[in-house]
Structure 1
Amino acid sequence: MESQEGTLPLGSLNIEQLQNVQKSTEQEVQSLTEQLTQLTTAQQRILSSKRLAKEFGKQPEGKEILLPLSGSVYVQGKLCDTSTAMVDLGTGYYALKTLEEAEEYFQRRAAVIKDNVDKGTQALVQRRQMYEAVTSVLQQKMAAAQRQGAS
């Protein structure tokens, strides 16, 4: 068996080296899993924003609403223009967009995030396979060492 990079057969590593590779691979798997969770959450928020932009245009002007100032503080307000929305572009930048432009923007963002999720998922599968291969070789070497020690 060879490592993911194809540079060194796993069978040529000693137990300590295999344990180090196993530990680092396990950390990579955990990190990738966390990143994918964050990306999936971001993707859901973006798609929710897209749906809300679509529904917002159906609301009558003058409708009373509650505007969030924070996660737990709201103020009363009235809709005065339901044809445009202020869109958070990230890093403190906002843009006034028509609802169609907002929907298109959110769709593009969701597509980019989906590509990143797909790539991350592929990398995670490869890292998990690597982890399983290292674990298998490590178990074989440890069993062989125990047999030699018992002899």
Structure 2
Amino acid sequence: MRAATGRGHEEWRDLLDAAGAREWSHRAIADWLVAEHGVEPWWSQGITVDFEQARKGRLPGQQADGTFAVSMTRTVPGERLVALAAVRAVVEARHGAAHGENLVAVQPVVRWRLADGTRLAAAAQQPGRSGTPVNLTIEKLADAAAMEAAKAELAAILAEAAG
């Protein structure tokens, strides 16, 4: 973090404390870091999450809205759309048709709204020699206790899709 931003974890935490960020929203903190300190947006998110975990009691996996999310990536054979189609077939067999997709994006993605109120997304990354890394994310989990079952679900989907 220091090499990329010029400050370490504790220095950012102290700076944000001094600025009154314990009372700010996640977005306000991240935006302030970009605007006032020239932090790249990706790093501003990491600094914000670290601050929220250290100073505001945010738990690992907990999102700014209080829900939880888990993600997992595995290489699936084939080019991007082939690998994504393999994952999609497994997810649709378990959860039904997708509610959205963008197959022409730099990182093609397919999304589902699941019956329990959670959301699942599959995104195909840049292919490598052995296939395409596909990232699955489940969001809107009610609590930390739901994370283990969600991780097991993601692992099972990716294992089946990878063959």
TMscore range, shorter length: under 0.3
TM-score, normalising length: structure 1? 0.22
| Higher helix content, 1 or 2 | 1
Q: TM-score by structure 2 length?
A: 0.21
Greater Rg over alpha carbons, structure: 1
